[in-house]
Amino acid sequence: MKKHSALVAILTFGLLLSCATNPITGKKNLNFVSNSELFPSSFQQYGTFLKENKVISGTADAKRVETVGMKIKVAAEKYLISIGQPEYLKDYRWEYKLVESKDVNAWCMPGGKIVVYSGILPITKDEAGLATVMGHEVSHALANHGAQRMSAAQLQQIGAVGVSLATGSQTEEKQKMWQQYYGIGSQVGVMLPFSRSHETEADKIGLTLMAIAGYNPDLAVGFWQRMAAQSSGQSQPEFLSTHPSDATRIQNLKALIPEAKATAAKFGVFFK
């Protein structure tokens, strides 16, 4: 009876999922969190981060981050207008900051708040490399990946409750065993592949945005090759990672470049 109740609870929860189609991806999202709920918290966290870290301003590098960020923003706007979604970005509050850090990283919070760490600049090398990074990170925000990950984590927790209810009549040892199986299975079999799919999706959208912005998407491959060289020997097996392996990512990018160029051509941007 308990197993049946747990199953009914999980299925009922699934039926109540809010699935809206994202105009950037054309897919229905697993999303329990609206932008009106997520953005204010995101903006507040971003403001706190900037207060607690050293923001670089007035330098050539800082100007480059701002310039590339604006071009990616305009590219996103052009693309959304072209598909009849001009209002999609109305609640975004774009901001681009260069922050002093040795970390080789960059990120974009929901709502368009972007940070580039100075540690990644030797690898980006130029505007095209920076556009590769910022296009990718902005794409996470446009595709609502943050909200989707939060939603998936909530669903994973609901599943854990279901397992607990379903095994409640068993010994404590067996209950722990089933929870462990569920934890490993849901992480390796669902959550990590879910995250890797987001990375691939952001690569695809990012290539399109950088191309519309006027940056040759062929140059994205060089950036990721430099990233691969920088992290050589430090990667873990792909199935245990939140990101595709370097080899998989580069192979995917090469396959996606022609489509990005074709889309850019519709906006009057051409590459050899």
Contact call for residues 3 and 165 (beta carbons, < 8 A): yes
Residue 21 lies in a domain: no
CA distance 201 to 176: 36
pLDDT of residue 152: 65
Residue 22 lies in a domain: no
pLDDT of residue 232: 64
Task: Give the chain's radius of gyration (CA, Å).
Answer: 21
Residue 243 lies in a domain: yes
Mapped onto helix, strand or coil, the DSSP state of residue 96 is strand
pLDDT of residue 145: 73
Residue 43 lies in a domain: yes
Longest dimension (CA), the chain: 67
Residue 127 lies in a domain: yes
Q: Which residues contact 136 (CB under 8 A, 6 or more apart)?
A: 202, 203, 206
pLDDT digits (tens, 9 = 90+) for 48-64: 999 999 999 999 999 99
Select from 133, 111, 117 the least CA-distant residue to 35: 111
Length of the chain in residues, anyone?
272
Contact call for residues 253 and 221 (beta carbons, < 8 A): yes
Phi then psi dihedrals of residue 114, to 5 deg: -115, 135
pLDDT of residue 82: 95
* Neighbouring C-beta atoms of residue 18, cutoff 10 Å: 12
Residue 24 lies in a domain: no
Catalytic choice (137, 172, 199, 201): 137
Contact call for residues 67 and 96 (beta carbons, < 8 A): no
pLDDT of residue 190: 60
Each residue's pLDDT expressed in tens, for the chain with a length of 272 residues: 444 444 445 444 554 555 667 778 877 776 667 788 889 999 999 999 999 999 999 999 999 999 999 999 999 999 999 999 999 999 999 999 999 999 999 999 999 999 999 999 999 999 999 999 999 999 999 988 776 777 666 676 777 777 777 877 888 887 778 777 666 676 756 666 666 878 899 999 999 999 999 999 999 999 999 998 887 655 666 544 667 888 899 999 999 999 999 999 999 999 97
Residue 186 lies in a domain: yes
pLDDT of residue 37: 85
Q: Say whether 137 is catalytic.
A: yes
Amino acid at 44: Q
pLDDT of residue 65: 97
Q: Domain range for residue 133? A: 2-12+31-265
Phi then psi dihedrals of residue 229, to 5 deg: -65, -40
Residue 23 lies in a domain: no
Chain position carrying tokens 């990170």: 137
Split into its structural domains, the chain has a count of 1
pLDDT of residue 173: 81
